Amino acid sequence: MSSNTASTDTPTCPTLIRPSDFKIWKLQITAKLQREKVLGMALGTDTCLITSLSIPDTTTTVPRAHGIIQDSISDALLLKTEMHTTAQDLFDALLSIHQASNLASTFCIFQQLFNSTWSRGSAISEHIMSLWTLEAHLARIKIMVNPRLLAFILLNSLSKTAEWNMFTSSIINTVEDSKLTFDAMETQITSEEAHLNPSRSLDSALKVSNKSSTHPPNFATWCDNH
């Protein structure tokens, strides 16, 4: 990365490395550019020429705003955005990259949610907790999943055996609309699994009771779709 392109008497901006850094980075780089009186160059609202700054030990000069932004991103992002030679183009490119990565990460979570399938090799409690975890992560990014939709996802994810197909059919044909919620389905499914597999019932109950302390997985890394 380039260096020493900003005033030494102002706080440094954290380095943008991964998608999870982006929100705080955007706030801090905006404040940094504003302190340096070059925010307009990054936003495209200031067309005045800004004095270029020399990079130490080279004969190269870079516009102040462009250099400040380059100073605050990782080497990987620096290489990825090297073709953007103005502050506005570079800033817009970084916004575009991270907006796309956020959408891709959200899409990955939805894929996991809708494609979730319970393998009878694992406890039903583990499967239910995995759905709770995905739903909790979506809630953290202010995407709320309708409780009825979540209940349908849970029912659809059950093992496709004769026993569970009969159970699902019975639920769909008899449950009251007001009781078609994820919590209600969790209770009935856990009870049915305890009936079908008594040896797992205690373990399942303990794990489900601890779901509130389960931490969502880290989706801050780059998604495969990015």
User: CB neighbours (10 Å) of residue 142?
Assistant: 6
* Res 186: pLDDT: 92
Nearest alpha carbon to residue 144 among 134, 152, 153: 134
**DSSP code of residue 161:** S
| Token pair in block for residue 30 | 């905006």
* Residues ≥6 apart with Cβ < 8 Å to 121: none
pLDDT in tens, the chain (226 residues): 444 444 444 556 788 887 777 888 888 888 888 888 888 888 877 655 544 444 445 444 346 888 899 989 989 999 999 899 888 899 888 888 877 667 777 888 888 899 999 977 778 988 998 898 888 878 877 788 898 999 999 999 999 999 999 999 999 999 888 888 999 999 999 999 988 887 655 554 455 455 444 444 444 443 444 4
How far apart (Å, rounded) are the C-alpha atoms in residues 106 and 18? 15
Burial (Cβ within 10 Å: 0-12, 13-18, ≥19) of residue 73? buried
Q: Say what the pLDDT of residue 96 is.
A: 82
| Amino acid 225: pLDDT | 46
| Domains of the chain by residue range | 19-47+59-101, 120-202
